[in-house]
């Protein structure tokens, strides 16, 4: 007997385990196997394989599957919202498509001739409502299809519409400006919201205009505009601007040292740990140790202290700065000199008297046995020097 593995079609005309005269048609890779030549059929539930054993030899070849299946790489509209009477363009790109069909939608989209491999069609939107435009493409093999949808809302011709609203640039540094521009149709009035006080105090010119806004703090700002039409209908559009913190120059750092990240040092993500000691950590005798962390969107405060029982005696200088090893270009609240104890309190919540940290900014907690500038000023007589640190999330 011979066992055959292939693409198998079983068409049961009459199939019952107890039937004496059960008939079936077995086709393996396009070759029909007579019933009298079949010794057994075994279905393997664990692998979903069907094994057919025959009484004589049959030669069957593997089925070749076309690797170039059809795909719609993109299908989009020129606008997601239009007024009745305005044009909207639908654009598509396909791969390995033999034919494509346009269905759904309104105002002449269904039945549109789809050029291949790419193309576009423009319709005049006349039917008010929310509509789904569908593109279905077929490949060279049966069942090889791909479908994409585009959603377009058509509003009444006299409805208010914000046809464009954007902030450019949408990513700036502290102190830079962004220009917010808008275009409207049928707007009676528009109200700015979100963003900053400078934006919300703007008098919105109609039907279009722009405003230049300065942003002085790091963070993410959402600027919105709500417009009202003659029938009290409304539409709102928004855009987001990200303000990055100033990148501090680290040219003033004169010491050499080592940098580790907060998670590795404390075995906890910032702003954790809530209360933990880190003992016998090494610091270069004439250099520094820096612990890197990013404030993210954390709103909290905590304190880093050098414990009294440090393994190596000596004066230790600490700081929190935007440069590893920087002990000089920092505010007074962000530095501390340890003799026996004490610490630096940090805050992202505006806590009075703490080292004030900006959101989404990378900082370094630095510690050294020197004066922060001169390697020869070290107060550590060992090499390397050891410190014990404590972090408390207040």
At 377, phi and psi to the nearest 5? -85, 10
Residues of the chain with CATH 2.60.40.10: 71-155, 163-244
Token pair of 23 as six digits: 């008939």
pLDDT at 30: 57
Residues of the chain with CATH 2.60.120.1050: 257-393
Torsion of the alpha carbons at 132, 138, 139 and 145, rounded to the nearest 10? 60
Looking at domain 71-155, which CATH architecture does it have?
Answer: Sandwich (2.60)
Q: Could you say which DSSP state residue 200 is in?
A: H
pLDDT at 366: 96
- The list of the chain residues with pLDDT below 50 reads 1-23
In angstroms, the CA 156 to CA 86 distance is: 10
pLDDT at 58: 66
Looking at domain 257-393, which CATH architecture does it have?
Answer: Sandwich (2.60)
3-class DSSP state of 208 = strand
Neighbours of 139 (CB within 10 A): 20
pLDDT at 348: 94
pLDDT at 131: 96
Classify the C-alpha dihedral 318-322-328-330 as positive or negative. negative
Report the topology of domain 163-244: Immunoglobulin-like (2.60.40)
Write the burial class of residue 40 (CB in 10 Å: 0-12 exposed, 13-18 middle, 19+ buried). Answer: exposed
3-class DSSP state of 281 = strand
pLDDT at 7: 40
Instruction: Give Cβ neighbours of residue 143 (< 8 Å, ≥ 6 apart).
Output: none
Contact 135, 143 (CB under 8 A): no
């Amino acid at each position: 007997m011979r066992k055959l593995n292939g693409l198998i079609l079983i068409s049961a005309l009459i199939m019952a385990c107890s039937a004496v005269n059960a008939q079936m048609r077995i086709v393996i890779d396009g070759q029909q196997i007579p019933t009298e030549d079949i010794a057994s059929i075994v279905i393997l539930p664990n692998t979903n394989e069907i094994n057919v054993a025959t009484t004589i030899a049959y030669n069957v070849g593997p089925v070749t599957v076309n690797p170039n299946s059809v795909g719609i790489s993109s299908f989009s509209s020129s606008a997601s919202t239009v007024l009745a009477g305005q044009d909207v363009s639908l654009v598509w790109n396909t791969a390995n498509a033999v034919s494509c069909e346009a269905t759904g939608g309104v105002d002449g989209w269904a039945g549109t001739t789809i050029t291949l491999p790419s193309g576009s069609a423009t319709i005049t939107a006349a039917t008010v409502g929310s509509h789904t435009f569908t593109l279905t493409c077929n490949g060279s093999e049966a069942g090889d299809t791909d479908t994409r949808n585009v959603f377009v809302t058509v509003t009444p011709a006299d409805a208010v519409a914000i046809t464009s609203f954007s902030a450019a640039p949408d990513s700036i540094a502290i102190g830079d400006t962004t220009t917010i521009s808008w275009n409207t149709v049928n707007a009676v009035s528009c109200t700015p919201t979100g963003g900053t006080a400078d934006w919300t105090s703007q008098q919105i010119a109609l039907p279009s205009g722009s405003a230049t806004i300065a942003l002085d703090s790091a963070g993410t700002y959402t600027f919105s505009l709500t417009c009202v039409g003659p029938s009290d209908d409304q539409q709102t559009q928004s855009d987001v601007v990200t303000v990055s913190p100033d990148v501090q120059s680290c040219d003033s750092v004169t010491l050499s040292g080592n940098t580790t990240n907060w998670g590795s040092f404390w075995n906890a993500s910032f702003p954790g740990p809530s209360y933990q000691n880190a003992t016998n950590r090494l610091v270069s005798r004439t250099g520094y140790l820096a612990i890197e962390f990013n404030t993210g969107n954390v709103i909290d405060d905590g304190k880093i202290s050098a414990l009294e029982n440090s393994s190596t005696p000596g004066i230790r200088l600490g700081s929190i700065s935007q440069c590893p090893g920087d002990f000089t270009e920092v505010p007074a609240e962000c530095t501390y000199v340890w003799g026996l104890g004490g610490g630096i309190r940090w805050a992202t919540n505006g806590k009075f008297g703490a080292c004030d940290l900006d959101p989404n900014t990378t900082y370094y907690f630095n510690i050294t046995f020197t004066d922060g500038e001169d390697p020869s000023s070290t107060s550590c007589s060992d090499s390397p020097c050891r410190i014990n640190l404590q972090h408390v999330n207040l």
